[in-house]
Amino acid sequence: MDILRMGAVSFLNSRPLVRGLERWPERFRIRYDLPRACADLLHAGAIDVGLVPSIEYLCGDYRAVPDAAVVSDGPVRSVALFAAVPIERIRTIALDTSSRTSVALLRVLCARHFGIAPGFVEHRPAIDAMLRAADAALLIGDPALLLEHALKGLQKIDLGAEWKAMTGLPFVYAFWTGRPGALTTADVIVMQQARAEGEADPDGVARLFFDGDPVAQRIGGEYLRENIQFRMGERELAGVERFYGLAADVGASGPAKSVEFY
């Protein structure tokens, strides 16, 4: 069989879904990129399947791998708005250019939950520079997880917790996505087995990812145990569909559609 070109997110939260696939180099060739770049590679046909931000599913004729995703059911810790002023006083937000899903989620929360209408400016993910350019900053991934915001006098507004407060549903940040026919049934089974293996060993995943950094290893293991889930069942799908509908309503995405699976 041909080698599948796989794209995965370079953050810690993707590694439980990927680690087991690295033992199958004859079938899966994996590259790591920021979420937005991973999505762009999939859209361009440069990879066959990508662990891409969930909003990107709306951008093409795609299918998803069943029951394998990056999810939070409450606080996520790695997708957050950092602000030096109360939320009702936020007038401008610097947006981390790494991901489109978190940007769409923030736009939904501003319009439907926070009750603010800030201006948005894209910015590289560097908190000090972002807060010189705007009242608040959206950061995602490992930089958001590890930022010691209290030392900088910042409020951290967890977008996973705010989504759960607004909807009562989990939020799905990313899932394996590809074009119809890209994966066989055997591929899907291996990918689900890899997920089960990775989610069973969060501390081991964090130790490998943050090699040589005991503080980050401890934070990462706790994060994978307590904040991130890797299954996409009925409640998670309901969360995806609610997100797609709200994102379309506020102009943060194209038309909503249902997720179809391999």
* pLDDT tens digit sequence for 74-91: 999 999 999 999 999 999
- Per-residue pLDDT, 1: 67
Q: Is residue 116 part of a domain?
A: no
Other CB atoms within 10 A of residue 99 CB: 30
Q: Is residue 46 part of a domain?
A: yes
Beta strands of 10-135 (E only): which ranges? 28-33, 49-53, 63-72, 79-83, 92-96, 119-123
Encoding tokens for residue 83? Answer: 């602000």
* pLDDT tens digit sequence for 127-186: 999 999 999 999 999 999 999 999 999 999 999 999 999 999 999 999 999 999 999 999
- Per-residue pLDDT, 41: 97
- Long-range CB contact pairs, 26-30, < 8 A, 24+: 27/1, 27/3, 27/187, 27/190, 28/3, 28/4, 28/190, 29/3, 29/4, 29/5, 30/6
Is pLDDT of 65 > 90? yes
Tell me phi and psi for residue 206, to 5 degrees.
Answer: -65, -40
- Per-residue pLDDT, 99: 84
pTM for the model stands at 0.95
Per the prediction, the chain carries an average pLDDT of: 96
Q: Is residue 31 part of a domain?
A: yes
> Average pLDDT, stretch 36-49?
96
CATH number at residue 58: 3.40.190.10
Q: Is residue 48 part of a domain?
A: yes
172 burial via Cβ count (<10 Å: 0-12, 13-18, 19+):
buried
* pLDDT tens digit sequence for 92-136: 999 998 889 999 999 999 999 999 999 999 999 999 999 999 999
Strands 171-178 and 49-53 come out as: antiparallel
**Element holding 40 (H helix, E strand):** helix 35-44
- Per-residue pLDDT, 231: 96
* pLDDT tens digit sequence for 180-206: 999 999 999 999 999 999 999 999 999
> Average pLDDT, stretch 8-14?
96
Q: Is residue 75 part of a domain?
A: no
Domain that holds residue 178: 4-70+172-211+232-238
Q: What is the number of structural domains in the chain?
A: 1
